[in-house]
């Protein structure tokens, strides 16, 4: 009888792990560059939303480079991508001014209209492996 209970416990544990997504391959260190018309775009939040799992995000630097941060890593596969302006505080004067400049820039406004929320964006990228560098062109 104890052998049957052990077997049943193993099956229940396997099903629980399978349903929770623990078997999915997850990756970290995914990043890349965001550009528009070949030029890097600084001070944007880049968001990746996989078909299953939690969102990952990162902020672009002056060269348009970003590294995604995620509590659980990203699953390998397709991710919807959108960008937003970061929330800033006047206490961080340099960033606050840069974001306000972006907010007034007609090119950034057009980018945000096209790629500025998860429902409107048509941008899908494929995450393949840890350390994967992805070029995102917001043209």
pLDDT at 37: 97
pLDDT at 29: 94
pLDDT in tens, the chain (139 residues): 444 433 433 433 333 334 344 557 899 999 999 999 999 999 999 999 999 889 999 999 999 999 999 988 999 999 999 999 999 988 899 999 999 999 999 999 999 999 999 998 999 999 999 999 999 999 9
pLDDT at 23: 57
User: What predicted TM-score, i.e. pTM, was given to this entire model?
Assistant: 0.80
Domains of the chain, each with CATH number or no CATH: 25-137 (2.60.40.1120)
**Three-state helix/strand/coil letters over the chain:** CHHHHHHHHHHHHHHHHHHHCCCCCEECCCEEEEEECCEECCCCEEEEEECCCCCEEEECCCCCEEECECCCCEECEEEEEEEECCCCCCCCHHHHHHHHHHHHCHHHHHHHHHHCCCCCCCCEEEECCCCCEEEEECC
């Amino acid at each position: 009888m104890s052998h049957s209970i052990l077997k049943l416990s193993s099956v229940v544990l396997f099903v629980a792990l399978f349903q929770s997504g623990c078997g999915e391959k997850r990756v970290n260190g995914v990043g890349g560059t965001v550009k528009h018309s070949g030029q890097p775009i600084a001070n944007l939040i880049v968001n990746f939303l996989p078909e299953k799992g939690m969102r990952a995000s990162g902020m672009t630097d002056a060269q348009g480079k970003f590294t995604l941060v995620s509590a659980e890593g990203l699953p390998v596969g397709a991710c919807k991508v959108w960008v937003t302006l970061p929330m800033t505080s006047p206490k961080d004067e340099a960033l606050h001014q840069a974001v306000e400049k972006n907010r007034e820039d007609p090119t950034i406004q057009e980018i945000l209209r096209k790629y500025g929320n998860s429902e409107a964006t048509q941008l899908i990228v494929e995450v393949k492996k840890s350390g994967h560098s992805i070029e995102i062109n917001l043209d």
